[in-house]
Amino acid sequence: MKVLEARNIKKYYGKEPNITKALDGVDFSVEKGEFVAIVGTSGSGKSTLLNMLGGLDVPTYGEIKIQGKKLSDLNDEQLTIFRRRNIGFIFQNYNLLPMLNVYENIVLPIELDGQEVDQIFLNEIINMLGLKEKLKSMPNMLSGGQQQRVAIARALITKPAIILADEPTGNLDSKTSRDVLELIQSTSRKFEQSVVMITHNEHIADLAQRIVRIEDGKFLKTGVGENEKIRE
Ligand code: ADP
Ligand code: ADP
């Protein structure tokens, strides 16, 4: 089953003659439980693509479905709710709320949704991510790796079908990057979540099951084993 399907996505900024084709016809789909890395240099269109896939911005052309639902069929309010329930976001800068402690940051998406926190699931996540001793800490007391683990917990708490991660290790040293990536991998396996991660770091991309390359707003068309790699 496909968790995500994007067809012929284009995103243009500006107007002729100064138009920037940030995305120029991207087709992309993600299976349940699949971990995909999108790799490209700065300016290749990675962030733009992730923003479209997550419904944070609207493509100029093309259609995106998540869990079979067309994002363009949702109004702003419906989209906000849909995003919160179906997509977990992880960002380079963690995006934790500085005035809330670790526990409050993690459960925020559930509270915003007016739901009860599933304490058993919460404990499971907290244990997996090694955050048990940190629940009362404020984000600014934590290292980068710890802050990213909190952000991962917050992304997982709603049990989303898909995690979208934008340079999740961009601010971390290589050892911590690997640890964080391994956590994302093991939680995605355990909870059967798909992950789409963008990165410009080949070593980080190498940890994914599949690597897709983007250049000048287009996916490079290649066979498996060359630029696109699929690993069991
Ligand atoms: P990446 O994430 O791979 O660095 P981006 O998606 O941020 O690439 O950018 C792709 C291209 O689109 C770049 O040329 C960038 O300057 C341009 N771009 C991105 N966002 C905007 C915007 N809001 N307005 C104008 N141009 C943009
Ligand atoms: P990243 O580090 O993920 O590649 P960037 O620093 O390229 O991100 O861009 C950060 C944000 O700024 C993006 O979300 C993008 O929409 C916006 N942006 C990028 N390039 C431009 C641009 N030329 N004009 C306006 N906004 C831009």
Domains and CATH numbers, the chain: 33-55+75-208 (3.40.50.300)
CA of 28 relative to ligand 2 center, distance in Å: 21
CA distance 73 to 60: 15
Reduce the DSSP state of residue 212 to 3 states and report it.
strand
Over residues 213-224, the mean pLDDT reads: 82
Closest ligand (CA of 91): 2
Q: Measuring CA to CA, which residue among 51, 48, 23 is closest to residue 219?
A: 23
CA 51 to ligand 1: nearest atom = 6
Reduce the DSSP state of residue 178 to 3 states and report it.
helix
CA 200 to ligand 2: nearest atom = 4
Q: Is the CB of 43 under 6 A from ligand 1?
A: yes
**What pLDDT shows up at residue 231?**
57
- pTM, 2 dp: 0.88
- Greater confidence (6 vs 186) lies with 6
- Greater confidence (128 vs 139) lies with 139
Q: Is the CB of 48 under 6 A from ligand 1?
A: yes
pLDDT in tens, 149-205: 999 999 999 999 999 999 999 999 999 999 989 999 989 999 899 999 999 999 999
**What pLDDT shows up at residue 1?**
84
Q: Measuring CA to CA, which residue among 15, 24, 37 is closest to residue 231?
A: 37
Q: What residue type is assigned to position 100 of the chain?
A: L
Residue from 12, 15, 47 whose mutation best tests the ligand 2 pocket (most atoms within 8 A of CB): 47
* Residue 169: count of CB within 10 angstroms of its CB: 26
Structure tokens at 128: 């997996």
